[in-house]
Amino acid sequence: MRNATVTPVVNSEDPQILRLRRTLIGLVYLLVVEGLLRKLEPGIVGILIFLLKDVVVLFLGWQLLTRHKLPSAIHFLFLAYVFTAIFFVPCIFNTASHDPLLAVFGAKQYLLYPIVALATFIAFQDATIGEVVAFCRRVALLMIPAGLVAVLQTQLSPSNWLNMSVQGTSLEDFSSAGHLRVSSTFSFVSQFCGFLNMEMFMMFIALHGWKNLKRKWLYVLPVILLVVCSYLTGSRGAVVGNTMVIVLAVLLCVLRFDIGKISSLIWIGGSLMLVVVLFQLLFPSLMATYSVREGGQVVGISPEVRERIYGAFFGWMTHARSIPFFGNGLGIMSNGSDSLSAYSRSFRSTQWTETDMATTYFEGGTYLMFVWYGFRFFIIFQTTRRFLFGVSRELLLPAAFCQAFVILVGLTGTLGMQPPNAIWWWLSVGLSTTLWWKSVHPVEEPPAPPTAQPTVAPRVIRGRSAYAEQLHGQK
């Protein structure tokens, strides 16, 4: 750690800071149960639940506006956010020329969720590292209920309400070789996969200070469920995504020349692979959905996966000459846009873009490719630079996993198309910046309360009794 200055303990009971933290954890809980609630209420109530996360993020933004000024440590993010919003104006006007309501919806998909990163840093800027870890542990433990629901789905019939879509229709068309691809408590499989990728880095922040944990088994269970559920989804994004988070974390530690942390990461990777092999031998049915899609392969990257990775980065080029310079309109390919806009519905009824680059190019053309990816590359560069030159060795491992997620999802995630994935990414950006800040300006942990000492009764000096006085007088 370089030039670290210890900050004295601050008042963590600041009502505004507490409200920010509660709103953040409330947002996380909402994202986890949103799909479950929408399945229970697939009608108009389901649409309101779908929009509720945006209301929560707006509430976070309102809380930030009530502050006198933003911390200088995140000026890089705020200024980049402002300039990006300005550069979005031509795309917004282009979309509004087709459908004004779609323009508002589309702008929201791209520009609303960076508020989460700003709110995360401010909420924990003056917190102790113990308070940051406590927040991440609450998020990590959500893997237990989400994972158990996913396992339960495999034991239920496809017609059970838990295995239906949020519109109340069957998902059998999305099964893999007769095996249902589970979505747990989320609206779609892809959203559950995004949650699993997020939990990979969140788990290792939560495990910081492992030796002092009293109930270690409580954190072993979510790690096992994370591995199992990644295969239950049958999604390459979940399995390969989590693998890449580990690989990138190793590379980041290599760049820091920390052999001890590299050894720890290799041990972690080996342990997780052992869990995969054991479950493949003992519970092959749990791995079948992914195994069938990959031709029996559960470890490694198949040729089809390599082809999909290539397509994620270069597939958009096949339509390079048919897309207008400012694109066809923001938000067209986002879930729910076809119910808001006839213009969006006219596209979605005949075509679909699956990857992030293809979506960005389709909606905003060459112009948005430069603006949107320029913004994301800038965030990746700034957070990586802070990790490499500022994070202390004590926080290196959790920060490496967090920054690995920032890099991976920042390059490949559908951030302008899937709001939950965008919220997870911006949360990771805020936490990565916070871990750097905790290294450069660590906050003193509050002193432990003094141990109560046993009360010793005062010694009572007693005088002579009347009988003793009589004997003393006879001498």
Band (31; pLDDT cuts 50, 70, 90): very high
What per-residue confidence (pLDDT) applies to 368? 95
Distance CA 20, CA 63 (A): 7
Strand-pairing partners, residue 164, are 170
Distance CA 384, CA 410 (A): 12
pLDDT tens for 221-242 read 998 999 888 888 877 788 888 8
Distance CA 391, CA 443 (A): 14
What per-residue confidence (pLDDT) applies to 426? 97
Please tell me which residue, 63 or 235, carries the higher pLDDT value.
63
What per-residue confidence (pLDDT) applies to 355? 83
Q: Write the secondary structure of the chain as one string of H (helix), E (strand) and C (coil).
A: CCCCCCECCCCCCCHHHHHHHHHHHHHHHHHHHHHHHHHHCCCHHHHHHHHHHHHHHHHHHHHHHCCCCCCHHHHHHHHHHHHHHHHCHHHHHHHHCCCHHHHHHHHHHHHCCHHHHHHHHHHHCCCCHHHHHHHHHHHHCCHHHHHHHHHHHHCCCCCCHHHECCCCCECHHHCECCECCCCCCCCCHHHHHHHHHHHHHHHHHHCCCHHHCCCCHHHHHHHHHHHHHHHHCCCHHHHHHHHHHHHHHHHHHHHCCCHHHHHHHHHHHHHHHHHHHHHHHHCHHHHHHHHHHCCCCCCCCCHHHHHHHHHHHHHHHHHCCCCCCCCCCCCCCCCCHHHHCHHHHHHHCCCCCCCHHHHHHHHHHHHHHHHHHHHHHHHHHHHHHHHHHHCCCCCHHHHHHHHHHHHHHHHHCCCCCCHHHHHHHHHHHHHHHHHHHHHHCCECCCCCCCCCCCCCCCCCCCCCCHHHHHHHHHC
Give yes or no for residue 186 having a pLDDT over 80: yes
Please tell me which residue, 297 or 231, carries the higher pLDDT value.
231
Please tell me which residue, 42 or 344, carries the higher pLDDT value.
344
Band (12; pLDDT cuts 50, 70, 90): low
Mean pLDDT of 345-373: 88
pLDDT tens for 234-274 read 777 888 888 899 999 989 988 988 787 788 778 877 888 78
Give yes or no for residue 172 having a pLDDT over 80: no
What per-residue confidence (pLDDT) applies to 364? 92
What per-residue confidence (pLDDT) applies to 2? 47
Mean pLDDT of 409-415: 91
Q: What percent of the chain has pLDDT over 90?
A: 44
What per-residue confidence (pLDDT) applies to 449? 52
Q: Which of 64-68, 418-422, 451-455 tops mean pLDDT?
A: 418-422
Phi and psi at residue 187, to the nearest 5°:
-70, -35
Mean pLDDT of 406-414: 93
Band (293; pLDDT cuts 50, 70, 90): low
How far apart, in Å, are the Cα atoms of 147 and each of 215, 307, 430? 19, 29, 26
Mean pLDDT of 56-62: 96
Give yes or no for residue 454 having a pLDDT over 90: no
Please tell me which residue, 358 or 273, carries the higher pLDDT value.
358
Query: What is the chain's mean pLDDT, rounded?
Result: 83
Min mean pLDDT across 222-236, 282-296, 374-388 is at 282-296
Give yes or no for residue 455 having a pLDDT over 60: no
Mean pLDDT of 362-388: 95
